[in-house]
Amino acid sequence: MTRIILSIWLIALALTACSSTNTLPEDTSFARSANSDSPKLSRALNKLLTGEGNLSFIQKGQELDIVATERGVLLDVNTIGMNGVNVGVVQHDDISMIASSVKYQRLSMYVRSYAALKFLIEKNFIRQISIEKGK
């Protein structure tokens, strides 16, 4: 009886182990690519940039399930060492500033084009750009 129970247990162990994540071979697994295009951009925004040349900024955003309206994509921008002069520098035809704060080192804006997004990346005082998650 003990042998039978032990056998069943071993079979169960083997079956579970085979289907378990514990032994999933890495070569069949998902590769998390380096966020190399711009480390300042969140993954979704880096992916959005890859659409340049094929789709419009808004179209690509919608394809990626990003909330992208005619106003653009609402961005949450973290800065470091930003001053009042810097805020004035962030002017672009395809950028609509919603709020800015030197105190909080933060910008909130709608961006409507690939060029505007690249324009932001180039600013030294901009540390990280992500899509506003909403409320």
Partner 1 sequence: MLNVNRYLKYIVCLIILMPINSIMASDKNIYKAGSVLTKKGGKISNKLLTKRPSDKQYSLASSTEKTNKPILLDVMFNSVPADMEKRLKSADFDVLALSEKYKRGSIVMGPTASLSELATWSEVKYINKELGRVKKSGAATSRAPEALKSNLITANPHNLSGAGQVVGILSDSFSHTSGMRDADTTPAKCIKGTLENSKSQDSGDLPAVIDIRKDDANSCSAADNETGGSDEGAAMAELVHDIAPGTAIAFSTVGESILSFALAIEDMCTPASEGGAGATVVVDDIIFLSQLMYQDDIVSQAARACVESGIPYFSAAGNNGSDAYQMEYNDISPSINRSPDSGVVSGNDFHKWNDDFFGQAYLKITVPAGSSFSAILQWNQPALSNPTNIVNIPKIDLDLFLLSNEEAPDTNGSNVLSIGIEDQADLLSSADPIESVDYENTELFSKTVYLAIDHWSGNKENIPQDDGTALEFRLVFFIKGQVGFPENIKPTASTMYGHSNAEGIISVAAVPWYETDAFYKAGGPTLEVDPEYFTAQGGRLNKYFSDDGSFNKRSVVVPTLASVDGNNTTFFGDNFGGSNFFGEDDGQPNFFGTSAAAPNAAAVAALLLEQELKTPEALKQVLTCSAQDVKGERAEVGFDNVTGVGLVDAARALDEMLQPSQSSRLIPLADRTVAARTVVNLNLLLEDSSRLVASSEWQHKSGFDITSMIEATPSGYSFVAPSAGFQTQLDVKIYDQCGFEYTDTINITVDGLPTANFQVDGERLKGETIILDASGSSDVEGPLTYQWSNVAPSNVTIENSTSAKASFLVESIGSHSIELTVTDSLGQKDSVSFGIYIPAAPFVAASSSSGGGGALLYFGVILFLLSGMNFRTRHKSF
**Binding region for partner 1 (CB under 8 A):** 16, 20-22, 24-35, 39-40, 42-43, 65, 69-71, 74, 76, 78, 80, 98-101, 103-108, 127-128, 130, 132-135
Give min distance, CB of 109 to partner 1, in A: 9
SS3 62: helix
Task: For residue 75, give the nearest of 97, 57, 92 by alpha carbon.
Answer: 97
Give min distance, CB of 64 to partner 1, in A: 11
Residue nearer to partner 1 on the CB measure, 3 or 133: 133
User: Which tokens belong to 38?
Assistant: 């711009």
Give min distance, CB of 72 to partner 1, in A: 9
Task: For residue 69, give the nearest of 58, 80, 79 by alpha carbon.
Answer: 58
Residue nearer to partner 1 on the CB measure, 60 or 112: 112
SS3 41: strand
User: Which tokens belong to 78?
Assistant: 């973290």
